Amino acid sequence: MEPLKSNESNNNSESKNARFNNGYSPLKPSAAFIGASWMTLLIGMTSYCIGLYNSAMAYNEKGYYFTILLFGLFSVISVQKSVRDRLEGIPVTDLYYSISWFSTIASIVLLIIGLWNADLLLSEKGFFGMSFVLGMFSALAVQKNTRDLKQFESTNL
């Protein structure tokens, strides 16, 4: 038997849970997945930055590629957040949703254009492309894990 609770507190907790998880019980992300996500983010970002440091580019080119990395990481997190908010019924304006997708696509296109026109070996271009994609994907995973963990903790208090 459940302990007696007032209807008011039951309704508040039920509406709070429904608002946060659309009626499903969130699962806690595993420690292995959280660790792997953080490690791949660090590996992707560090390898990209080490590649920039060791490249024979001018400082303005290095600054361009570093800015593209930061822009891409931020924009992909923004896309993940706005998509997840919409799935959970949290209002997201169409303008913000569109801008976050546009900025993600723009960062990828800017990297492709920059690498296409760069005087780098093909292996270096591939290295920058792969470490950029690794960083972007792992930033998504880190954001997802952070949000899932927060949601799990808030529903299991």
pLDDT tens by residue, 77-123: 999 999 999 988 899 999 999 999 999 999 999 999 999 999 989 99
Euclidean distance between CA atoms 45 and 144, whole angstroms = 18
Q: Please, are residues 134 and 43 in contact by the beta-carbon 8 Å criterion? A: yes
Handedness of CA 47, 50, 56, 62 (dihedral sign): positive
- Residue found under tokens 């998504």: 140
pLDDT tens, residue by residue, 54-66 = 998 999 999 999 9
**In the predicted structure, residue 15 carries a pLDDT above the cut 60:** no
The H-or-E segment that residue 22 falls in is none
The pTM assigned to this predicted structure is 0.77
Question: What is the pLDDT, as a whole number, of residue 35?
Answer: 94
Question: What is the pLDDT, as a whole number, of residue 104?
Answer: 96
In eight-state DSSP terms, residue 45 is H
